Amino acid sequence: MNPARRYTLTLSCPDRVGIVAAVSGFFAQHGGWIVEASYHADADTGRFFMRQEILADSLPFDGAGLSSLFAGLAREFEMEWQISDSAQLKRVVILVSKQDHCLNDLLHRWRNGELLVDIICVISNHDDLRSFVEWHGIPFIHVDMQGNDAVAKAAAFEKIAALYEKSRGDILVLARFMQILPPDFCRRHAGRVINIHHSFLPSFAGAKPYHQAYTRGVKLIGATCHYVTEELDDGPIIEQDTVRIDHGDSVEDMVRYGRDIEKTVLARGLRYHVEDRVLVCGNKTIVFK
């Protein structure tokens, strides 16, 4: 068997007795070797969430056969479900502006094999990072937004959407992309766009959160990786972290501390997503780490 290749089943359904037994029994019936299993029952919504990893070579059929056979069980329990194959890397498109710390960290993790994805391209509204991205052998696409011209911006976002769709991207990553996505863009790609925001949301949403934190005199600053929705910085949160500060720290100090948090939080959030560890529950997430 090849232990590196796994099928990952994720699902949610109305909570009831027998879900775990039914799913585990299904795989046992076909000789499936479950190597990781996580469960959560959400009392507020009455829904049950599950994630299981199964060795692909332990089953007598391929991914399509697995999906076909599992569909009957899924109907019985009214499941929302999907099965992914670890041999098929998630296709990632990255959006960035001028700041490169998050992009640099993601490309480093990708190059050393820590982040197992296929980075299709990097899109930016500035041309500054072209040589850096192309040095990694990744296509770089400059989409000019021409300042604050609303018509030009709308056209630019349509181009970005077309590039994303043409690339057959699985996830669009805003790695400090300092632009607000249009509501229609967010609706069309719900659950397929993640952002890193440089504050511990829901505190200090919007622009210049470090300046807001400095003015408020907080003792902790942080960063938040979340799914993008129509409401600015209000999507389901995937990952967060903080660092302690004190009265002697300037805004510039906060920005410097924050860069370290931003890149690690984004990397963890993206990894959780591409490993199918994140299930959305309303405006919250279930994250099976």
Positions annotated as catalytic residues are 233
CA atoms within 13 A on the CB side of 107: 22
**Token pair in block for residue 210:** 């470090």
What value, to the nearest 5°, has the Cα angle with vertex 264 and ends 259 and 191?
Answer: 110
